[in-house]
Structure 1
Amino acid sequence: MAAVQVLLLDGETLELSLDRKSKGEDLFEKVCDHLNLVERDYFGLIYEEKGDPRNWLELDKRLSKFFKAEPWKLSFEVKFYPPDPTQLQEDITRYQLCLQVRNDILSEKLACSFVTHAMLGSYLVQSELGDFNSDEYTDTSYLKDFRFSPNQTPELESKVMELHKTHKGQTPSEAELHYLENAKKLAMYGVDLHPAKDSEGVNITIGVCSTGLLVYNDKLRINRFAWPKILKIAYKRNYFYVKIRPGEYEQYEQTIGFKLPSHRAAKKLWRVSVEHHTFFRLTSPDATVKPGILPKLSSNFRYSRRTQFQTKQIPIDREQPSFERTLSSRKMPVTRSLDPLHQQNNEANKEPINKRHTMPHPPSRVPGLDSSPAKRDKVRHFETRIVPKSNYTDVEKGSNPILSSVLASRLGIALPDPAPEVDMAETIPEAQRLRSEVAPGERALEDQPSKKKIYAKEAWPGKKPLAPLLLVTSAPPTNFL
C-alpha cells in the first residue's frame, strides 16, 4: 500500500491508502466520492515533478509511474472551466468552481480591476454571512477574515461593504452563481498558460481555453486561433506548430511555429490542446486505438473521458446535496483520512459547524507555470489534424475574436513565403462531412468527404504537396532535423 495526500480546493488535505498498482482513475474516483461530486469531468489531479510544478495526471496509467517517494502528493483542481457556469446542474459543482476561481484570483493568475474585486468580494460575503445586518456590521471589521484581493486595502473593504448591502435576499447558491457570472467575463478565465518564444526570440505566452488558442505578449492578447480555424496541431522536439485554415481571400494554409522551453513542454502543450478541443468541441471522444504488435513511432494519446456535451446529458436524479462551506481563516485547515479506523477515532473530536455558508481560503501552495527545461527525451513527432466536424458543439457562436495586424508578424516561425495575416473574423459554417481514415500515429479530429489519407496542401505555389509533417521554416534550427 502507498500513502497518498490530495490537497483539495478548500485547503483540506485528504489522506488515502492505495495499492501501488492502482491507476489514476481509482484515486480520482475516490476523491470525487469524498466530495460527493457527480459532474466530475470538469476536474482533474495535478502532480509536481522536477522542473515542472503543474502536470495533469494521466488517469489511465498507474500512479507508481509518476511518483518515487511517499507520500504521493497531488492537488485536486478544475481542469476544464465551463464557459457558462449556469449550465452546471448542481450547486456543489458550482461551489468547487468558486473555490478554484478564488484561488486563481488570490494567486494573481486571474487579474481583476478594483471594481471587479469589490463585486466578487461582495457576493462572497453574501454567500458566507447572508444578508447585511446594520446592527451587527457597523464598520468593515466584520470583513477582517476575508481575502478578496492579493493586495487588499481599506478602500476595497469599504466598497465590498457597500455592495454587500445591495444583495439582500440572495441565497448562498444564488450569490455563488452571481460570483461565477461575473468571473467568467474576466479575460484570463479558464486559460491554461504556457510560456514560449516567437521566431525573433521574444517571450510570449500561449493560452489554451474552451474557444481555441490565444497568444499573449506582455499580458496583451495579440491573436486568437479559434478551433474551427485550426486544421492541425503538432509538435516536434521543442517546437509547437499550428496549421491555420486559409481565410476568405487566401489560397493556401499557413503553418505557425512556437519555440517551447523543452521537448516535454511542447508535448505538454500539445496534449492540453487536444484535451480541450475534444472536451469542448466534440459530442463524444474518438475511439481509442488498440496497440499493435510492432512498436509505433507516434503517439496513441486520445482523450477518452466524457466530453462537455456528454456531461450535460447525464441525468442527476437526486436532491441537491447538503455540504459544509468552511472558511479556513477561521477554522484551521484539516487533514482528513478515508481510513475507517482513523475516522472513528476523530469522530469525537469533530468541531461543531458554527457557520452554515462559508467559503474557505485557498491553499497556501499554488502551482506555477512550466518555465524550466526538462531532461532531453527521445525525439518523436506527433501531430493532430483539426477541422470542423458534424458533431461539433456551438461553442463559437457569438464570439468576437480580436486581431492585431501590428503584432501578427511576431506570432511565430514564418514560412519561406511570408504568410498573410490569419483571418479569425468569421466562423466556418457547419456542413455534412464523412469521417476519414487516419493512419495510426496521427491524432485526427476532422471529417473529410473521402476516406483517403489527407495530406495538407503545399504552403506556397509551384511545389508538390509535402509529407504529413508539413512544418517548414525559412531558417530551420540546427537541432530541428
Structure 2
Amino acid sequence: MRESLRRLAGSSSEDGMESRPTGTRRVRIELLDGEHINVDIDRKARGSDLLDKVCDNLDIVEKDFFGLLYAQRGDSRAWLDLERRLSKTFRNEPWDVRFVVKFYPPEPSELRDDNTRYQLGLAVRRDLIEGRLTCSTITHALLASYVLQAELGDREGRVSGALLSSHLAVPLQVLTEDLEDKVDELYRKHKGQTPAEAELNYLENAKKISLYGAELHPAKDSEDIDISLGICARGVTVLRDGILMNRFPWTKITKISYNKRIFTLKLRASEFDECETYLSFRLPSTRACKKLWRCSVENHMFFRREAPVRVARCAGLPRFGSRRVSCRRTLRQLRAALPTPAA
C-alpha cells in the first residue's frame, strides 16, 4: 500500500511546474492518510475517470465504495458528480479534491480487497479525529489499541499520549491518562496479531458504533426543533443533540422526495397502521435539501438495488436542477463482478 502511494505521488511533482501534455489539467488530491498528490488528467475527463485513476494507482479493486469531495460555495463536502466533465465543475488549477469513502460497507469482513479494507480503516479514523463520528471512551481505547497493533506490531513499551497523537489513534480532546492506561492494557492483549488481522478487528468494532458510515445533514423537524438526519447503509437516522431518536430502515421507506427546502420520507404502513406515513423535515436551503435527497437516493440505490435505475421527476412538482445521481454499480453488482475468494 505504501509503495502504491509513493508511486502515485511520484507521478507528479510537488510544485506542479514541469511540462505536461497539451489538453491536460492538474488535479491536487488529498488522500485519506492526509498526504497530497498531484495527477494530470485530460481536460475532457469525467469525475469517474479521475476516481478510477486514483484507485488504480492505489491498487484498489472495489472502487465503487469510494468518491471524491470538493469545496463548493461554502460547502466543504460537496460530492463530485462522476458523470459530469471535470472542466464544468472546476475553473482555476490546480483542481482540489479529497479522496474518501462514500459508501461504508456494513460488513467490512466481506470486503475482497485488502487495500479497500486499509482505506476504510483510515476513513473511520479520520471521521473520529475530525468529530464526525463519536463513541464511548472504552471504544476509543479499543480502537486505538488496534491502530497501534496494526502500525507498530507487538507492544514493546508503555503507551503514551505522544504515541497515540503521532499515530492519530484518538482525538486530542478525549486523550487522558486514564485513556492511555486503558489503551496500554488492551494493546498488550493483541500480541501476535498481524497488521491485517488488527485492521479487520478495528473495523469489526468500528461498525458497531451507531453512526458508523453516516453522513449527517442539519435539519428541523415538524416542531421546528434542530435535528440531524444521518444517511448510511442501514437507512435514515434522526438525532437530536447527538442522541439517536429514531431510525428508519430502507425496507420501511417507500419514497424519498423533496420540494424546495422540504425533504419527505414516505413510510410503509405497519401492521398497526391503517395507512402509509409521511415524515417531512425542513432544510436550511434548497441546495442543502437537494444534497440530502441525492445522498439518500444514492445510498438506497447502492445498498438495496440490484442495479442503478434512472431517477424520475416527481409528477406535478417542478424540477429543481438535475436529478442525476452518481452510482455506477450497486453493492450486488460489485460483489458479482469480483472473483470468489479461494477456500
Give the aligned residue type for 1:70: E
Following superposition, the deviation at residue 113 of structure 1 comes to 1.3
Matched position secondary structure for 1:125: helix
Distance 1:216 1:236, change over 3 A: same
Q: Which residue of 1 aligns with 2:75?
A: 52
TM-score (norm 1): 0.61
1:202 correspondence with 2:225:
yes
Q: Is the 8 A contact 2:236 2:247 kept in 1?
A: yes
The 5 Å alignment of 1:36-435 reads 36-133=59-156, 137=157, 140=160, 143=163, 145-150=166-171, 151=173, 152-286=175-309, 297=319, 299-316=322-339
Q: Which residue of 2 aligns with 1:352?
A: none
Q: Which residue of 1 aligns with 2:42?
A: 19
More strand by share: 2
Distance 1:167 1:287, change over 3 A: same
Matched position secondary structure for 2:233: coil
In the alignment of these two chains, the number of paired residues is: 310
Distance 1:199 1:18, change over 3 A: same
Q: Which residue of 2 aligns with 1:376?
A: none
Instruction: Supply the distance in 1 between the matched residues of 2:333 and 2:223 (Cα, whole angstroms).
Output: 42
**Deviations for 1:430-467, whole angstroms, at most 9, x for unmatched residues?**
xxxxxxxxxxxxxxxxxxxxxxxxxxxxxxxxxxxxxx
Instruction: Supply the distance in 2 between the matched residues of 1:247 and 1:237 (Cα, whole angstroms).
Output: 29
Instruction: Supply the distance in 1 between the matched residues of 2:94 and 2:186 (Cα, whole angstroms).
Output: 45
Instruction: Supply the distance in 2 between the matched residues of 1:138 and 1:97 (Cα, whole angstroms).
Output: 28
Q: Unaligned stretches of 5+ in structure 1? A: 290-295, 320-481
Q: Is the 8 A contact 1:286 1:302 kept in 2?
A: no
Q: Is the 8 A contact 2:112 2:341 kept in 1?
A: no
Matched position secondary structure for 1:286: coil
Give the aligned residue type for 2:214: V
Q: Which residue of 1 aligns with 2:21?
A: none
Q: Unaligned stretches of 5+ in structure 2? A: 1-23, 313-317
Instruction: Supply the distance in 2 between the matched residues of 1:138 and 1:106 (Cα, whole angstroms).
Output: 22
Distance 1:125 1:265, change over 3 A: same
Moved segments of 4+, more than 4 Å: 296-300, 316-319
Following superposition, the deviation at residue 249 of structure 1 comes to 2.4
Instruction: Supply the distance in 2 between the matched residues of 1:74 and 1:31 (Cα, whole angstroms).
Output: 11
**Deviations for 1:98-148, whole angstroms, at most 9, x for unmatched residues?**
000000111111112111111111111111111123xxx256488363333
Following superposition, the deviation at residue 300 of structure 1 comes to 4.8
Q: Is the 8 A contact 1:286 1:303 kept in 2?
A: no
1:4 correspondence with 2:27:
yes
Instruction: Supply the distance in 1 between the matched residues of 2:325 and 2:161 (Cα, whole angstroms).
Output: 52
Distance 1:202 1:141, change over 3 A: closer
Matched position secondary structure for 1:266: helix
**Structure with more relative contact order (C-alpha pairs < 8 Å, separation 6 or more):** 1
Distance 1:246 1:42, change over 3 A: same
**Deviations for 1:242-299, whole angstroms, at most 9, x for unmatched residues?**
111222122222222111011111111111111000110112222588xxxxxx9475
Distance 1:316 1:70, change over 3 A: same
Matched position secondary structure for 1:199: coil
Q: Is the 8 A contact 2:155 2:191 kept in 1?
A: yes
Instruction: Supply the distance in 1 between the matched residues of 2:280 and 2:310 (Cα, whole angstroms).
Output: 29
